[in-house]
Amino acid sequence: MISLDSKVPAGPLADKWDNHRFSIKLVNPANKRKYDIIVVGTGLAGASAAASLAELGYNVKVFTFHDSPRRAHSIAAQGGINAAKNYRNDGDSIHRLFYDTVKGGDYRSREANVYRLSQVSVEIIDQCAAQGVPFAREYGGLLANRSFGGAQVSRTFYARGQTGQQLLLGAYQALAAQIATGKVTLYNRSDVLDIVTKDGEACGVVVRDMLTGQVSAHSGHAVVLASGGYGNVYYLSTNAMNSNVTAAWRAHRRGAAFANPCYTQIHPTCIPASDEFQSKLTLMSESLRNDGRIWVPRDLDETRPAGGIPEAERYYYLEDKYPAFGNLVPRDVASRNAKTVVDEGHGVGALKNGVYLDLSDTLANEGVETVRERYGNLFDMYERITGEDPYRVPMRIYPAVHYGMGGLWVDYNLMTNVPGLYAIGEANFSDHGANRLGASALMQGLADGYFVLPYTIGDYLAPRLGTKPVPTDDPVFTNGITEVDDRTRHWLAVKGTRSADHYHRELGKILWDYCGMTRDKAGLERALSEIPAIRDEFRKDVKVLGTADGLNQSLENVNRVDDFMELAELAARDALHREESCGAHFRVESQTEEGEALRDDENFSYVAAWEWKGPDIPQELNKEPLTFENIKLSQRSYK
Amino acid sequence: MSNNLNLKLRIWRQDGPDAPGAFLDIEADDISRDASFLEMLDTVNERLLGDDIEPVNFPHDCREGICGTCGVVINGQAHGPEKATATCQLHMRKFRDGDEITIEPWRARSFPVIKDLVVDRSPLDRIIEAGGYITAPTGSAPDANDIPVPKDVAEASMDAAACIGCGACVAACPNSAAQLFTAAKLAHLNVLPQGQPERWKRTEAMVETMEEYFGTCTNHGECHEACPKEISLDFIAFMNRDYIKAKIKNRSLASQAR
């Protein structure tokens, strides 16, 4: 068993963060330069953390497998970023954002973390505006907002449909400034393939230079993982092709508990798959749900084009079932309802695998120009991908894997159970419970990187003043290098018959079918028997050509698929053990009479943190109980 | 599937920066029109693997046209024939059955080939590091609404900030100039009120770093034509104007007061 001390500070909710900042240890400004910190990943969390730590005076080494830090997948986030600014005078507050986030997460997140997130959300907007993020403005020059699923206030800040891009460029530019000063050393095209610990504490990483193939060790006083989410375990997802779980998974294998891997968000508004060769799914920002109406034809044999179907023969299923929230219900609810109507045979498109997202009312009432200004880039993207003009025919959408609420277990300081190893952004499990609200991922990534980690890491570092990082010729590093080298060479030696992608696709199908939008005991047990079988076959039969001594994208990929194979099994095991429904995790056996997710607070109000026990040995379950002192648990209702 | 495409591909293969390169000729049959260009390459790579030929390395990641990782020269055009479209968003329905398609990496001296279709674009990062930021240490920002930004200014800034840093502008330019990329970042920051304190220092540093690595602009406009985000040439004029002003203003501290 491992110790899961959440280190949540005592005191009233609203004072916890303040009290904690006062009580934790600080590193004096002149001493910060005596510490080396390793940051893995340059998305919103990693870039903002690396830049902020360097501004404080720490020496930072930052690693990315991309050619430039600016490419990280945060860049693809479209819709916006939440903050409790209450600029709209519509009743928002820190407490309301906190409440919405805990409720949206179906009461499976830690109250104190979420409250802190809501508190610092306000500072994030200030920080980003000061950096020159070109947020949307009103005519008077003040910031504009829009509303988003799961909320009844307008608290989302945005930069057209490219909010993630602009926020990431802000963080990347802050990072670039620190690279120029020499406080940050950037290692681009560097794949972090192992996390190194000594005497139970994190001390560095093992990295493969993707251009030369050389494997080397890097040492530091602390290691921060900002390596993103694991959605690509499903093969088809909205994640970028190279997004992977490897750094987090290797940390798990070195002792860090992996929490709630079954909580995977299936985003309701993506472009449906068109064929077998499909490499990824593309998200259409759910901000479209503000102005769009979602419907399917009532008649299962409908053949008319959307525009020819009269109002009475359309089934606006979200508006019918959830009059209060309508098309703005949270993501998990929207996704499951889409699956239900498509499974019933109402689906639209050639493969009958989508539902309509129809903006024709808005186009008629507010005009094409208004819609173009709001969603022009999304409409263009839709047309490029599908060949259909969304200004004339309604878009077709269907849910797709999007975000992992689960991740490495962290305490209030964002430290994993391995001392000195931190996880921030999507790589940790902390703030979204069993379902994340729209426009909250950007908020959490930047909260962790700009405003939480730079404070909390000092508490760990301060007592280590005067210590040197473990030298890289220590056996923990040299053994780590040997292991990574052996693993790399192993793949080239298998000389099997099929590509890693082939096996990845097969794995994804199993997970999507049995551990997707709905799960049941029989299906999950089946997944648990099929996944190890396919993993064994993959390891014996995968085919990788080329060498290890230079750029080899197939070789990079095979390591990642191998780690996904192990994660997939854990996700299925986690889903099987959690015999309740909550948020994105919908167990068919546990639903209300109306078909909504039915929680079992008595038995499952905890974080499931899984502990690595060795290859081919099932992980051990550790539980961090969740207690709610400030919010009354209730059955979520968006009616 | 009779509706699918049969294509003749000529794909550039090169082992490393100093290795000689050559075209690999491949018949790519039965390619779906609904596939993206990169999905077509995925399919080709699966088939190469089956024939024991090392798959072609090509740059790609988000496949949504926003990360800027991808980009190849298709029949002589950076990002291919469709206007305002990155390679990953180009779909095969834009091609015809029997087409011959030549696929090359970005061609520019400042972007050496790493392998096959992958090039090194890191000089673009050096330009940003030279000054493509607003110094705002974390925690020091005033309330976001303390600095009103007129809507049209915010829109102009966003027009420039939409650049994805793919480098197609450099690849398309006969001089391998990076003016459009540099001007886009300068305009993004220089038009904003927040960008004023460092405006002249930023301009001089970025332009001169750009000139260390890249060729010179002779107003061909090829960069704009290739740009997947249609960044306007006007920003280059804006940059040139700001650069001249910067050279004067940076001469003495007092002139910073404008």
Q: Give me the phi and psi of A61, to 5 degrees please.
A: -115, 125
pTM of the model: 0.97
Average pLDDT of the segment spanning A219-246:
98
Identify the CA nearest to A60 among candidates A476, A457, A413: A457
Identify the CA nearest to A162 among candidates A173, A170, A154, A152: A170
The token pair that represents A150 in the structure block: 């799961």
Judged against a pLDDT cut of 80, whether residue B40 lies above it is answered with: yes
A557: left (phi over 0), alpha (psi -120 to 50) or beta: alpha
Which residue from A minimizes the CA distance to B88? A385
Average pLDDT of the segment spanning B164-190:
98
- Whether residues B155 and B184 fall in one domain: yes
- Whether residues B109 and B189 fall in one domain: no
Whole-number pLDDT of residue A147: 85
**Residue that finishes a domain, picked among B115, B149, B166:** B115
- Whether residues B217 and B151 fall in one domain: yes
Q: What sign results for the dihedral spanned by CA atoms A337, A342, A346, A351? A: positive
Q: How many residues are recorded in chain B?
A: 258
- Whether residues B200 and B221 fall in one domain: yes
Judged against a pLDDT cut of 90, whether residue B252 lies above it is answered with: no
Secondary structure (3-state) at A570: helix
Identify the CA nearest to A600 among candidates A637, A570, A633: A633
Please indicate if any CB of chain B lies within 8 Å of the CB of A350.
Answer: no
Interface test with B, best of A71, A127, A181, A448 (most B CBs within 10 A): A71
Owning domain of residue B106: 5-115
Judged against a pLDDT cut of 50, whether residue A119 lies above it is answered with: yes
Give bridge partners of residue A38 from the DSSP assignment.
A61, A223
Judged against a pLDDT cut of 80, whether residue B115 lies above it is answered with: yes
Query: Residue A512 and residue B219: Cα distance in Å, rounded?
Result: 52
- Whether residues B149 and B245 fall in one domain: yes
**Residue that finishes a domain, picked among B89, B115, B141:** B115
Query: Residue A75 and residue B80: Cα distance in Å, rounded?
Result: 23
| Closest Cβ opposite residue A132 in set B63, B164, B192 | B192
Q: Count CB atoms within 10 A of the CB of residue A406.
A: 30
- Whether residues B57 and B128 fall in one domain: no
Average pLDDT of the segment spanning B8-32:
97
Query: Residue A555 and residue A267: Cα distance in Å, rounded?
Result: 30
- Whether residues B69 and B133 fall in one domain: no
CA distances from A123 to A90, A283, B137 (A): 20, 28, 12
Judged against a pLDDT cut of 90, whether residue A169 lies above it is answered with: yes
Secondary structure (3-state) at A265: strand
* A534-590 confidence digits (pLDDT tens): 999 999 999 999 999 999 999 999 999 999 999 999 999 999 999 999 999 999 999
Identify the CA nearest to A234 among candidates A507, A554, A434: A507
3-state SS string over B175-196? Answer: CCECHHHHHHHHHHHHCCHHHC
B1 — pLDDT class (breaks 50, 70, 90): very low
DSSP state of A619: P
* Domain of residue B155, CATH code: 1.10.1060.10
Whole-number pLDDT of residue A530: 98
CB contact under 8 A, A71 and B135: no
Residues in B 201-220 with any Cβ partner in A closer than 8 A: none
CA distances from A50 to A192, A429, B88 (A): 16, 20, 30
CA distances from B195 to A126, B72, B191 (A): 15, 34, 7
CB contact under 8 A, B147 and A165: no
Q: Which residue has the tokens 């760990």?
A: A460
Q: Give me the phi and psi of A347, to 5 degrees please.
A: -55, 155
By annotation, the residues of A acting in catalysis are 331
- Whether residues B72 and B101 fall in one domain: yes
Do residues A436 and A105 make contact, with C-beta atoms less than 8 angstroms apart?
yes
| Closest Cβ opposite residue A381 in set B65, B120, B158 | B65
Question: What type of residue sits at position B198?
Answer: E
Which residue from A minimizes the CA distance to B64? A282
Query: Residue B208 and residue B56: Cα distance in Å, rounded?
Result: 36
Whole-number pLDDT of residue A274: 86
Spell out the residues 6+ positions from residue A473 whose beta carbon is closer than 8 angstroms to its own.
Answer: none
* A1-38 confidence digits (pLDDT tens): 898 999 999 999 999 999 999 999 999 999 999 999 99
Interface test with A, best of B64, B89, B166 (most A CBs within 10 A): B64
Judged against a pLDDT cut of 90, whether residue A290 lies above it is answered with: no
Please indicate if any CB of chain B lies within 8 Å of the CB of A551.
Answer: yes
Query: Residue A71 and residue A78: Cα distance in Å, rounded?
Result: 15
DSSP state of B232: -
Question: What type of residue sits at position A441?
Answer: A
Q: Which residue has the tokens 């391995």?
A: A418
Question: What type of residue sits at position A595?
Answer: G
Do residues A436 and A582 make contact, with C-beta atoms less than 8 angstroms apart?
no
- Whether residues B34 and B130 fall in one domain: no
Task: Please provide the average confidence, as pLDDT, over all residues in chain A.
Answer: 96
CA distance A360 to chain B (A): 25
Query: Residue A183 and residue A168: Cα distance in Å, rounded?
Result: 20
CB contact under 8 A, B162 and A162: yes
Spell out the residues 6+ positions from residue A597 whose beta carbon is closer than 8 angstroms to its own.
Answer: A106, A332, A581, A582, A583, A585, A586, A590, A591, A636
Please indicate if any CB of chain A lies within 8 Å of the CB of B142.
Answer: yes
The token pair that represents B208 in the structure block: 């001169």
Secondary structure (3-state) at A512: helix
- Chain A / chain B CB contacts < 8 angstroms: 213
- Whether residues B141 and B174 fall in one domain: yes
| Closest Cβ opposite residue A387 in set B59, B93, B121 | B93
Task: Please provide the average confidence, as pLDDT, over all residues in chain B.
Answer: 96
Q: Give me the phi and psi of A612, to 5 degrees please.
A: -65, 130
Average pLDDT of the segment spanning A132-157:
92
**Residue that finishes a domain, picked among B115, B132, B154:** B115
Query: Residue A481 and residue A207: Cα distance in Å, rounded?
Result: 8
Secondary structure (3-state) at A395: strand
Do residues A604 and A575 make contact, with C-beta atoms less than 8 angstroms apart?
no
HSE value, Cβ hemisphere, 13 Å, CA-based, for A5: 5
Average pLDDT of the segment spanning A608-622:
97
Q: Count CB atoms within 10 A of the CB of residue A594.
A: 10
Query: Residue B16 and residue B79: Cα distance in Å, rounded?
Result: 22
Whole-number pLDDT of residue B230: 97
H-state helical runs in A419-546: 441-446, 453-461, 475-494, 500-514, 521-541
Whole-number pLDDT of residue A394: 96
Whole-number pLDDT of residue B258: 53
Judged against a pLDDT cut of 50, whether residue A182 lies above it is answered with: yes
The region of weakest confidence among A149-153, A306-310, B57-61, B229-233 is A149-153
Judged against a pLDDT cut of 80, whether residue A489 lies above it is answered with: yes
Average pLDDT of the segment spanning A287-305:
94
Angle at A578 between CA A575 and CA A582, to 5 degrees: 90
b/e sequence A106-117, b meaning 16+ C-beta within 10 Å: bbbbbbbbbbbb
- Whether residues B211 and B251 fall in one domain: yes
- What is the number of structural domains in chain B? 2
Identify the CA nearest to B62 among candidates A165, A353, A56, A225: A165
Identify the CA nearest to A210 among candidates A234, A239, A171, A246: A246
Could you give all domains of chain A from N- to C-terminal order, each with its CATH number? 37-262+403-464 (3.50.50.60), 266-402 (3.90.700.10), 475-604 (1.20.58.100)
* A346-379 confidence digits (pLDDT tens): 999 999 999 999 999 999 999 999 999 888 888 9
Residues in B 70-99 with any Cβ partner in A closer than 8 A: 82, 84-85, 89-91, 93
- Whether residues B127 and B146 fall in one domain: yes
The region of weakest confidence among A195-199, A284-288, A362-366 is A284-288
Neighboring chain B residues of A57 at a CB cutoff of 8 Å: none
Average pLDDT of the segment spanning B188-211:
98
| Closest Cβ opposite residue B133 in set A160, A173, A283 | A173
Q: What H or E segment, with its residue span, contains residue B243?
A: helix B234-249
* Domain of residue B49, CATH code: 3.10.20.30
Whole-number pLDDT of residue A138: 96
Q: Which residue has the tokens 């009290």?
A: A19
